Amino acid sequence: MAVPIAVLDCDLLLYGRGHRTLDRFKLEDVTDEYLVSTYGFPRRFICYLVDLLGATLSRPTQRSRAISPETQILAALGFYTSGSFQTRMGDAIGISQASMSRCVANVTEALVERASQFIHFPKDEATVQTLKEDFYGLAGMPGVLGVVDCTHVAIKAPNAEDLSYVNRKGLHSLNCLMVCDSRGVLLSAETHWPGSLADCTVLEQAALTSQFETELHKDGWLLGDSSFLLRTWLMTPLHIPETPAEYRYNMAHSATHNVIERTLRTIRSRFRCLDASKGTLQYSPEKSSHIILACCVLHNISLQHGLDVWSAPASGHTEQSEEEYEQMESVDSEACRVRQELLLSHFS
């Protein structure tokens, strides 16, 4: 029986004599407009990723060693920004759908390895002070070190008997805990939590909590919505504001916290693989978590390169943390005291 020549050609290029590099697509042969429309990013950004990840993607132990780092990165960006392994995408760079899948896996792991390099809270006092001043400039809320929220990303059902990933809407998802600064730069991203966990439970168990309780509580706090419990380092809105000061506090809190909501919408619209309107992530929870984290790393790198966080077009679908939740009432008297002092000193 005849074997398709195209398959023989692909296999020869990937695994044949000498493990030749697959080089059908050249960045210099296309315009920036084409790269942005097809892969979501301009040439200089893609070249930076090639420099950043090239050594890792060229490791001789990887199956796709015959595919150049440049081609692997284009394949991964194509998937992240379109949410599919369409033949059109593979044809554009000259590889099969199976090869694209391996490229996405390789690039994802390379980005996850570098997550702590690009996603972290500032350490030095001058940068922390600048962080607070930038937040204060938004709506007059003092002492803010970051704004926190959760967002759900749909995944395929990992196991018929495993209900831990079924969220309140009856969908399988990961509940991702994110913190960003006033520009939308992510300072923390925990992408592995099962969708059945409520936001407050995720925060209670998160590494973020131990960070703030042991290291990062420097006369400041995060801002979270009413799905979280008030803590000394996490200011939440007042459930029923009564005084003018309480109303002013809630208004400043809402205007400042809106930054994380806009950031999550932007990440979802830029990286359509995270948008449920394109289908669920067809991977295990662990691999799906890594893809989400890889997109978070790319989001921060894009901001470093001057790509405006708010410039991506709005997505028509928002599978975000829009779950109905009960107003959380704090039993932490010290946290209540801290919020009351904030009300008296800045909003009265």
Compute the half-sphere exposure of residue 321: CA atoms within 13 Å on the CB side of its CA.
27
Asked if residue 260 lies in contact with residue 149, where contact means CB atoms within 8 angstroms, the answer is yes
State the Cα–Cα distance between residues 287 and 111, nearest whole angstrom.
Answer: 13
Q: In this structure, what DSSP letter does residue 234 have?
A: E
Alpha helices per DSSP H over the chain = 5-15, 32-39, 43-57, 69-82, 87-93, 97-113, 115-118, 125-139, 199-205, 207-211, 244-270, 285-304, 333-342
| Residues 239-255 pLDDT 10s | 999 999 999 999 999 99
State the Cα–Cα distance between residues 107 and 109, nearest whole angstrom.
Answer: 5
Asked if residue 180 lies in contact with residue 187, where contact means CB atoms within 8 angstroms, the answer is yes
29-33, 173-177, 203-207, 336-340: least confidently modelled range: 29-33
State the Cα–Cα distance between residues 270 and 77, nearest whole angstrom.
Answer: 11
Q: Of 128 and 4, which is predicted with more confidence?
A: 128
Cα of 115 vs its chain's centroid, Å:
11
State the Cα–Cα distance between residues 44 and 41, nearest whole angstrom.
Answer: 8
pLDDT category, 99, cuts 50, 70, 90?
confident
| DSSP secondary structure letters along 138-199 | HHS-TTEEEEEEEEEEEB--S-TT--TTB-TTS-BEEEEEEEE-TTS-EEEEEEEEETTS-H
The top-scoring range by mean pLDDT among 5-19, 201-215, 325-339 is: 201-215
Q: In this structure, what DSSP letter does residue 281 have?
A: B
For residues 16-21, average pLDDT: 40
Domain regions of the chain by residue span: 27-57+67-117, 119-283+328-347
Asked if residue 320 lies in contact with residue 268, where contact means CB atoms within 8 angstroms, the answer is yes
Tokens coding 329: 């009432």
Asked if residue 203 lies in contact with residue 211, where contact means CB atoms within 8 angstroms, the answer is no
For residues 265-279, average pLDDT: 87
Going by DSSP bridges, is the β-strand pair 221-223/234-235 parallel, antiparallel, or unpaired? parallel
State the Cα–Cα distance between residues 246 and 182, nearest whole angstrom.
Answer: 23
SS3 state of residue 330: coil
For the entire predicted model, the pTM comes to: 0.86
* Mean pLDDT value across the chain: 84
Q: In this structure, what DSSP letter does residue 213 have?
A: I
| pLDDT over 60 (residue 312) | no
SS3 state of residue 223: strand
For residues 187-196, average pLDDT: 97
User: Exposed, middle or buried by CB within 10 Å (0-12, 13-18, 19+), for 344?
Assistant: exposed
